[in-house]
Amino acid sequence: MDFTLIVALVIALALIFDFTNGFHDTANAMATPIATGAMKPKVAVGVAAVLNLVGAFLSTEVAKTVSGGIIKEGDGGIQISPEMIFAGLIGAIVWNLITWLRGLPSSSSHALFGGLIGATIIGVGAQAVAFDVVLAKVILPALIAPITVGIVAYLATRLAYAITRRDAGKPDGRGGFRYAQIFSSSLVALSHGTNDAQKTMGVITLTLIAGGYQAVGSGPQFWVVACCALAIAIGTYTGGWRIILTMGRGLTEIKPAQGFAAETSTAATILASSHLGFALSTTQVASGSVIGSGLGRRGSTVRWGMAGQIALGWLLTLPASAIMGAFAAGLALLGPIGIVLDVVIGTAVVYVLFQWSKRDRISHDNLHDIDDAGHVVKIKKTPRKPSRKDRQKVAL
Amino acid sequence: MIDWAAFLVVAAAALVSSAVVVSLYSLGLRLLTTAGRIPTVEPAEFTGAITVLSPARAAKDAKRARKALKANPLTDIQKSVAQYGGYLCFALCGLIVLYGVYLIVPALHQ
């Protein structure tokens, strides 16, 4: 196959992956403000999209390696070929769509790592995968990050309620947390833009360098940055409403004080970890803090069944996308015909998943009328649409 | 293996900073409420998670709230101290958020 064509395919797939990354992760920032009514759903995803776009331009410090050390690449290691990146991206995109269909928040970067690992095992062999790095960078953080941030969010929620607690009947002004939620969730969205778009920029830039279209060691070109920023912003604006539903209402019922505490813990943890070079998955941090804040408010319940489903999704992310990446890589080894088969099968799978999703459409306009988040949890029926009179008497 | 020292620093930094931000904002709300300027923020949209009270119950709550406000034992000066203290808390919170933006944007600190 013509090298140019495979490079073009990788770029196209990387942008599609970036798009799925965006709509998968809208929920991390915007699920809680949507759930508490701090922002209207459309406004919330719009804000998140703009901040992701801005964030992508703010930080163009792209990764030096595609896999962040998980695959022994570079000096003394292997060269990850465009075909392997192509196969890995197919695995990651399909897994992102499957988890989206199930309404499960799962890490897009883990899906990408999984796809690349699978493709590498088939394309080069298992010795090219640094399994100790996989353990230290993917598996252990996935276990400890949600628990740690859960504790942080739990304590923050307790603090928020303790400080604003007043005698029964006296107004406590906790509705004021809605304003704060706008800022805390925006901070999460901005940091997401600076982190996640860089991954795709890295993939495209390294592919261009490998193809000899760009000087070795040079940064991403402007059109790459612009395309990645746009792809993630459009993805974010499209909104993974199923995942927003799971995060905002499926795990626990969120009140403004909880939402603020959860988002602040998420933002603080992500900022601290990325500033100190200790990468954590935004999705896992955000889910952990929602659960923590659910535990922190008296009288609220956490739906552990849902939490278990999400945790299972995290466990499956790496092996599942690895299997799909391996399958795609196996086909790609057949040569041009394999690549064509990959594209055809990948498109067919994506088409089927989208058709499947139409059976129970979830979007910004029916978000609050849905009783059943991801077909697993029962949620209290939405009360009748309140009249203007009722609105003034709402419990805040 | 995992860098436990770095992880502990991340956990501690996250814990301290979110505790400070949440406490400051909560304190700000508390002070405003104490000063009798209760911040009421209507939800932008009525979601399933928000309970709508029956009119009778809401009226009862509102009456109790008014009664509680009337019985505010603070003098006017104390009230304005509480009010501006509340604003100060919000301002500090805003500064911490700006520091967060500073940390996010590499161009600002490199």
Single-letter amino acid, residue A64: K
Q: How far apart are CA A343 and CA B101, in angstroms?
A: 40
- Does residue A188 surpass a pLDDT of 60? yes
Domain boundaries, chain A: 3-141+177-260+316-391
Which residues in chain B have their CB less than 8 angstroms from residue A385's CB? 46
pTM: 0.84
Q: Output the pLDDT for position A135.
A: 84
Nearest to A372 by CA among B94, B96, B48, B43: B48
A85 or A171: whose pLDDT is higher? A85
Instruction: Provide the shortest C-alpha distance from residue A153 to chain B (in Å).
Output: 8
Chain A residues near residue B100 by CB distance under 8 angstroms: 187, 191, 267-268, 271
Cβ-based contacts of A388 with chain B (< 8 Å): none
For residue A373, the surrounding DSSP H or E stretch is: strand A372-373
- Lowest mean pLDDT across A7-21, A92-106, A346-360, B37-51: B37-51
In a domain, B20, yes or no: yes
Bridge partners (DSSP) of residue A71 are A129
Nearest-by-Cβ selection for B38 from A173, A265, A379? A173
The average pLDDT across A166-192 equals 84
What's the confidence (pLDDT) of residue A82?
A: 84
Integer CA distances (angstroms), A199 to A18, A110, A366, in order: 9, 12, 33
Identify the pLDDT of residue A378: 33
Question: How many domains does one find in chain B?
Answer: 1
Beta-strand relationship, A377-378 and A372-373 = antiparallel
Residue A78 bridge partners (DSSP): A73
**Confidence category of residue A377, pLDDT binned at 50, 70, 90:** very low
| pLDDT of amino acid A207 | 85
Quick one: average pLDDT of A354-382? Answer: 59
Closest partner CB to A152 (pick from B15, B44, B48): B15
Residue A218 clears pLDDT 50, i.e. is over it: yes
Spacing of C-alpha A206 from chain mean position:
23
Question: What is the band of A373 on the pLDDT scale with cuts at 50, 70, 90?
Answer: very low
Domain assignment present for residue B9? The answer is: yes
Compare CB distances from B48 to A169, A276, A382 and report the shortest one's residue: A382
Give A-chain residues touching B19 at CB under 8 angstroms: 152, 155-156, 159
Query: Model ipTM?
Result: 0.83
Residue B66 included in any domain: no
The rounded distance, in Å, linking the Cα atoms of A277 and A1 is 39
Instruction: Examine the pLDDT at A219 and tell me if it is beyond 90.
Output: no
Are residues A279 and A137 in contact, defined by beta-carbon separation less than 8 angstroms? Answer: yes
- A394 and B3 in contact by Cβ < 8 A? no
pLDDT score of B50? 56
CA gap A61, A59 in Å, rounded: 6
| DSSP code, position B110 | -
Q: Which two tokens stand for residue A251?
A: 């795990």
Among chain A residues, CA nearest to B13: A272
**pLDDT for the residue numbered B46:** 61
pLDDT at A11: 92
